[in-house]
Amino acid sequence: MFLTDPRHAAYSSRTMNSEERHFGPVWFIPGVNRGRYPYCHSVYIRGPGIIIDPASDEKRLRELRDQEGVNEVWLSHWHEDHITYLDLFPGAALKICRSDEPPLQDLEILLDWYDLPLPHRDYWRQVLRETFRYRPRRAAAHLNPGDIHDFGTAVVEVIGAPGHTPGHLAFHFPAQGVLFLGDYDLSPFGPWYGDRHSSIEDTLASLHRLQEVPARVWLTGHDAGIFTDNDPRRWRQYEDIIHRREENLWNFLAQPHNLREIVSAWLIYKRPREPLAFFEFGERALTVKHLERLLKNGMVTESDGYFTRV
């Protein structure tokens, strides 16, 4: 996702540092700077030679390619901070959920899926090409929720977890007791659901579904990276961020405000941040999702572009 920069690790009880760990054939590959944007953590499956989300550490990914072998690249979803080093593996078969493939095929589709306004599109077009090495690519095959892949050394269950993106996937390794959550990262910043096809409702449903998956180790795409307990407080705190954002917005709408005024209040990020094209977009995207939800639930009304709580 675009907006992981403000995040920082907040859980200390049984949160491990971001260092490479091997759980049998399932290898946790930490990203640079604890996997914070523009990086993420990767997972390598030894045996079949699969790298999941290749945007962690270019040097280590090259070593895996050259020393262990990478035959396939799997993506949990389409966001740019999960595909940065995809160009290291031109001969590997790319696999992703069909619902998330279109932004990989065309940069303009990617910008459309972020609903980027015109003032910011040129900025992001350049960033995506230069920082994230974006090049159009098509999937060789698709990963489907419910699929079970048995590689002998490891069995992988593909779990549909939409909300963050429409085709976001998690990966469960039952023999090792490992669950890779992708961008449901349980971070203090909270979930992202600001894309055109993101959904707050689906995000909540996916969080509940993932919490019930039997595991002993939880790997995330950003921040802490590894959890070794299933403390329900961690999940509750992560989910509560969604509800707190919505409550803050509802309280702010005790007086009528238009969207520009709401975004300028910085209810999500708390204060203006630079670059503005980065954070103002994120503030607006998340705010719009909550406005739509409040309108749908009859908690807010709109008149002539001004929103007021009921």
Using alpha carbons, select from 222, 166, 195, 245 the residue that is nearest to residue 4.
222
HEC secondary structure over 90-137? CCCEEEECHHHCHHHHCHHHHHHHCCCCHHHHHHHHHHHHHCCCCCCC
Same domain, 45 and 115: yes
Last residue of a domain, one of 230, 264, 285: 230
Residue 84: the pLDDT is: 98
**Do 25 and 151 share a domain, yes or no?**
yes
Q: Is residue 239 part of a domain?
A: no
Count of helix runs (H) and strand runs (E) in the chain: 9, 17
Residue holding tokens 């719009």?
Answer: 288
Tens of each residue's pLDDT in the chain, 310 residues = 333 333 232 323 334 447 999 999 999 999 999 999 999 999 999 999 999 999 999 999 999 999 999 999 999 999 999 999 999 999 999 999 999 999 999 999 999 999 988 878 998 999 999 999 999 999 999 999 999 999 999 999 999 999 999 999 999 999 999 999 999 999 999 999 999 999 999 999 999 999 999 999 999 999 999 999 999 999 999 999 999 999 999 999 999 999 999 999 999 999 998 888 789 999 999 999 999 999 999 999 999 999 999 9
For residue 45, give the H/E element and its range: strand 42-45
Q: Which domain holds residue 256?
A: 252-309
| Other C-beta atoms lying within 10 Å of the C-beta of residue 256 | 15
Last residue of a domain, one of 196, 230, 264: 230
Q: Are residues 142 and 272 in the same domain?
A: no
Q: State the Cα torsion 252-256-262-267 to the nearest 10°.
A: 0
The residue from 200, 230, 260 where one domain ends is 230
State the pTM of this model.
0.93
135 and 275 housed in the same domain: no
Domain count across the chain: 2
The 3-state DSSP class for residue 199 equals coil
Residues 226 and 271 in one domain: no
Whole-angstrom Cα distance, residue 137 to residue 106?
8
Residue 139 within a domain: yes
Kindly give the pairing relationship between strand 306-309 and strand 257-258: antiparallel
Determine the pLDDT at residue 10.
32
Same domain? 33 vs 101 = yes
- Would residue 9 count as lying in a domain? no
CB-CB contact of 64 with 85 (8 Å): no
CATH code of residue 105: 3.60.15.10
Query: Residue 6's pLDDT is what?
Result: 33
Cβ neighbours for 52, distance < 8 A, ≥ 6 positions apart: 42, 43, 44, 45, 73, 74, 75, 76, 171, 180
Res 277: pLDDT: 79
155 in a domain, yes or no? yes
Structural domain includes residue 242: no
Is residue 136 domain-shared with residue 166, that is, in the same domain? Answer: yes
One domain, residues 76 and 137: yes
Give Cβ neighbours of residue 288 (< 8 Å, ≥ 6 apart).
194, 259
CB 225 within 8 A of CB 182: no
My answer on whether 263 and 191 are in the same domain is no
Tell me, yes or no, whether 237 lies in a domain. Answer: no
In a domain, 8, yes or no: no
